[in-house]
Amino acid sequence: MTHQTGEHGAGADAAAGVPDADDNRRQVLYWRLLARLFDHEEQPALESASLAVVEDIGLPSALLDPGASVGSVVQRHPELAAEFDGLMTPEPDEDGERDRAAEVRRAALASKVLLNVFASSPGTVTAEQLARWQSDAEWLERALGCRPGELRGGRGSAGRAGAGGGAGVSPTGTGVGGPTPDLSRLIPAIGPELGSIEAGLVKRMHLREVLADPALAARLTPSMSLIEQLLRDKDNLSGVALSNAKTLIRRYVDEVTEVLRTQVQKSTVGELDRSVPPKRVFRNLDIDRTIWKNLTNWSPEEERLYVDRLYYRHTSRKTTPQRLIVVVDQSGSMVDSMVNCTILASIFAGLPKVDVHLIAYDTQALDLTPWAHDPFETLLRTKLGGGTDGTVAMALAQPKIAEPRNTVVVWISDFYEWRQQELFDSMAAVHRSGAKFIPVGSVTSSGRGSVNPWFRERFKDLGAPVISGHIKKLVHELKTFLA
C-alpha cells in the first residue's frame, strides 16, 4: 500500500469524510464553550487542548482567561477590535468555499464573548463586575452587528462611546450605515435574555451600599435594569445615595432621549398654507421655478439669462393644535415601556402645536402633565408596583378629550385589570368618539412583554390592535397622526 502525503492525501481524507485539523480545532473550542457554560469547573483536558489551538492560530491566551474582559483583551491587542465587529454575522465567501481556518479563529473569539456574557459567576456582584459585564454585553451586540446597547436598552450609539474598548480602541463597525441584522431566528430572543441576565446581576448587588460610596457609584453604567431597581428603591435612599441615584437616572434619560429624538425630529405638522406669502429669504428660494419662469428672458447672443422675478417656496403650514394624552401603567412589569414612553412624551411636548398630557396610575391616578416636558422629574414622581385599576386613569383622561378628531390617546399597560369590562367599554367609547386610541402592550428595545389576551382580542375587533415591540412602531403611529 502506498502512503499518500501532501495535498493529494488531504483531499483523499476529506473525500473519505475524515475531518481535517481545522475542524478538530473548532470542535475543541466549542466543546470547551459548552462545558464552561454548564459547569463553572474547568475541564483540564479541554483547557489544555484549547490553549494549544489558540496559540497555534496566533491568538492571545488571554481569550481563555475567564477573569479578563473582552475590552481588556482588545486594549492589549487593538488589532482584534475589527474582528469582533460583526463576528457572528460573517459575509458568505464569494467563491462558495468554506474558510475553515477563519472559522476556527471566529470560534475562539465568539467563545470568549459568549462565556463572558452567559457564564457569570454566582454570588454577590460588585459595581466593577457589573460594569465589566455591561462592557462584554456591548461587545456581544457588536459581534451580532448591532450598536452597543441596542439589544438591551435601545440607547444605540448614544451610550458610552467605545465602551469596553479600552484606551486607544475605536468603536468601529458598530452597525452604523449597514442593514439591521435579522436576529428573529434566535431562540430565545437574545435581547430579552440579555436584559434578564443584567437584571439578575443588579439584584445581586448591595445597591444601597454602592450608591452611598461616590467612587463605587461612579463605576455604575446606567441601564434599564439598573434604572428599574433605582426607581423601586428611591424612597428608601437619602443623602449621597439618593443624589447618586438621581445622577444615574438623569444620565440614562439623557442617553435614551438623544436616541428617540433622532427618530422624532424633522416631523412636520400640517399641510402647506399657500394663502400665506413665502418668506423672501435665500433658504426658501426656488431656483428651478425661478429659472423656468424667466426662460423668456434668455439672450442667445449673450448666452445669459436675465431674471426679473424671484420665486420662493411656501413653508408656512396649516396647523391645528393636536392633543397627545399618554396614560402609563405604573406596575413593575411595565417599567421599560414607562421609561421609554415618558421620554417620548417629553420629546413630542417640544414640538409646535402639540399639547401633551401625561397620566400615571396603579390603583390611583396621578396627573403628571406639569412635568411632561421633563422625563427625569416625571420618573421621580412615579411609584412602581401595586395593583392596576385603569378606570381611575380613564376618569382623568376623558375630560381632556375636548376635540376628539384632534386627539390621540396612548394607553400603555399589560391590561391585566380588576374591572376589565368597564375599562374596555370606556376605551371603546373614546375610539368611537373619533379620537385616535393606541393601546400599547410593550414598547421596549427587546419587545418582551405579555398582554392580557382578553383585551388583545377585543382591541383587534375594535380596529385598534395592541402595539408591542420596538418603540419605533409607536413613533411611526404618532408621527402619522400628527402629520
Span 449-470, pLDDT tens digits: 578 889 989 999 999 888 876 6
Give phi and psi for 346, each to the nearest 5. -65, -35
Residues 46-63: pLDDT tens digits? 889 999 999 999 999 888
pLDDT digits (tens, 9 = 90+) for 77-87: 889 988 888 88
Q: What does the pLDDT look like over 142-189, one tens digit per residue?
A: 888 887 777 765 444 444 333 333 333 333 334 444 455 555 555 456
Determine the pLDDT at residue 264: 60
Give CA 319 to chain center in angstroms: 32
Q: Examine the pLDDT at 267 and tell me if it is beyond 60.
A: no
Q: Which of 122, 117, 28, 109 minimizes the C-alpha distance to 64?
A: 109
Q: Where are the beta strands (DSSP E) in 180-321?
A: 271-272, 298-299, 304-305, 317-318
Looking at the DSSP bridge assignments, the partners of residue 323 are: 355, 407
Most confident of 49-63, 235-249, 253-267: 49-63
The C-alpha atoms of residue 386 and residue 364 are separated, in whole angstroms, by 10
> Which one, of 411, 268, 261, 269, lies nearest residue 343 by Cα?
261
pTM of the shown model: 0.55
Q: What was the pLDDT predicted at 174?
A: 40
Cis amide leading into 188 (omega within 30): yes
Average pLDDT, the chain: 77
| Confidence tier at 424 by pLDDT (50, 70, 90) | very high
Q: Give Cα 286 distance to the centre of its chain.
A: 40
Q: In this model, does residue 431 exceed pLDDT 90?
A: yes
Q: Tell me what pLDDT residue 391 has.
A: 92
- Residue 364: its pLDDT value, please? 85
207: confidence class by pLDDT, cuts 50, 70, 90:
confident
Confidence at residue 384, expressed as pLDDT on a 0 to 100 scale = 62
The answer to whether residues 128 and 219 touch, using CB atoms and an 8 Å cutoff, is yes
Average pLDDT over residues 223-236: 77
Say how far apart CA 106 and CA 83 lie, in whole Å: 8
State residue 198's pLDDT score.
79
d(CA 483, CA 318): 11
Query: Are 130 and 202 within 8 A, CB to CB?
Result: yes
Residue 187's pLDDT is what? 43
Residue 420 has pLDDT above 80, yes or no: yes
Per mean pLDDT, which range of 154-163, 225-234, 265-274, 395-404 is the poorest? 154-163
Whether 65 and 136 have beta carbons less than 8 Å apart is answered as no
Residue 362 has pLDDT above 60, yes or no: yes
CA distance 298 to 457: 67
Q: In the prediction, which pLDDT does 237 show?
A: 80
What percentage of the chain has pLDDT greater than the value 70? Answer: 76
Contact status, residue 245 vs residue 216, Cβ threshold 8 Å: no
